[in-house]
Amino acid sequence: MASTVSTPPTGTPASGEAVDPALERAAERAAARRGALLALPGFVYLGLFFAVPLAIVFVYSFATRSSTGRTILGEWSLRSYGRLFDPLVGGIAWRSLWIAALATAICLLVGYPFAYFIATRSPRVRGLLLVGVMIPFWSNFLVRTYAWRLLLGSDGPLSQLTDLAGLGPSRLLFTPTAVLIGLVYGFLPFMVLPLYAAIERMDFGLVEAARDLYASGWKAFRHVTWPLSRPGVVAGSILVFIPSLGAYVTPEILGGSRTTMLGSFIVRQFLSARDWPFGSSLSFVVMAVMLLATMVYFRVGGKTL
């Protein structure tokens, strides 16, 4: 209608928005109900397959183990938590921690320039490179890790190469270095993708502004690009660190028995050692520590944004 277009300028400015407040609240409630309904499948799924098993693990961690390896529910104790202070556990935890931290650092060091490179290409090249980053996901992780076993093995191509160069055969397989290589290989895309998203979103006019304000290329990076891409750094680091800390497949295949990490150790409690309460308490504590670390990291990383 023409009359709605030519509203006379004399009316009160808010007159167009004057809606009955009760009606407005009712509409808001209806919208909230619709939102909850749509989220319901997600809630059900997470509840059944995440919250319930977690509760079971929590309950089992207070159970006791019979001499034959049966789990006795009903005889509650804190014994399995006491075993966490065993030096053996400490050693494995420490090894897992530094390997995961190092894998994260290497992923960041390798992934940042790569993500930056992708983000600054033309849209077409960008798409191709991103597909390239994701291609490894299309084949099985286990198969890819076994491939590394062949590459790093004592008669593998790498070893032959070092032998030819006069350095003697390399003995990388079943060392922490092999695990590190495997982790970086496996989790690099999880670092690159969030970094790419953060850098791509950044306004490069800000870098020009910094250059115009006497910042050298390096200083412009340090004071503008880096802080503005920090959400990507935080997200990528968490996405690499947490699965590295709990990694099972990679250390199992590339680390051998000498490089046991937390993931393998926990699995061993459930399978060969048949100590479910200990496995449960270990799982639970590792999870709690990771959660806490993640929260602290987000706080620190997010503070300056």
Partner 1 sequence: MTTTPSPASTATKASEALAVSTAAVELAEVVKRFEDVTAVERLDLRVPDGEFFSLLGPSGCGKTTTLRMIAGLEIPTEGSVRIFGEEMGLRPPNRRPVNTVFQSYALFPHMTVEQNIAFGLQMRRTAADETRRRVAEVIELVRLGGMERRKPQQLSGGQQQRVALGRALVNQPKVLLLDEPLGALDLKLRQAMQLELKELQERVGVTFVYVTHDQEEALTMSDRIGVMDAGRLLQVGTPEEIYEHPRTRMVADFIGQTNFLAAVAQGQGEARLADGRTVNVPPGSTSGVAITLALRPEKLSVVPAGEPSPSGANQLVGVVERRVYLGSSLTYEVALEGVTLRVRQENTPSVAQCREGDRVGIRWDPASTTVLEE
Residues that bind partner 1 (CB under 8 A): 203, 205-206, 208-217, 219, 223-224, 227-228, 304-305
Q: Which of 228, 144, 227 is nearest to 187 (CA)?
A: 144
Nearest distance in Å: CB 9, partner 1:
16
- Asked if 165 and 141 count as a contact pair (C-beta separation under 8 A), the reply is no
CB of 194 to partner 1, least distance (A): 18
Strand partners, 71: 65
Q: Could you tell me the smallest distance in angstroms from the CB atom of residue 178 to partner 1?
A: 40
Tokens of 189: 């895309």
Cβ nearer to partner 1, comparing 189 with 231: 231
Minimum Å gap between C-beta 216 and partner 1 is: 6
Nearer to partner 1, 215 or 267 (CB): 215
Taking phi first (over 0 means left), then psi (-120 to 50 degrees means alpha), and beta for anything else, what does residue 29 get?
Answer: alpha
Minimum CB distance to partner 1 smaller for 99 or for 210: 210
Q: How far is the CB of 299 from partner 1 (least distance, A)?
A: 16
Q: What angle do CA 154, 155, 156 make, to 5 degrees?
A: 95
- What pairs with residue 65 in β-bridges? 71
Residue 96 or 229: the one with the smaller Cβ distance to partner 1 is 229
Residues 6 or more apart whose CB falls under 8 angstroms from that of 159 comprise 152, 153, 169, 170, 171, 172
Minimum Å gap between C-beta 38 and partner 1 is 30
> Of 121 and 144, which has the nearer Cβ to partner 1?
121
Q: How far is CA 125 from the centre of its chain?
A: 27
Cβ distance to partner 1 smaller for residue 228 or 235: 228
Contacts of 32 by beta carbon, 8 Å cutoff, 6+ apart: none
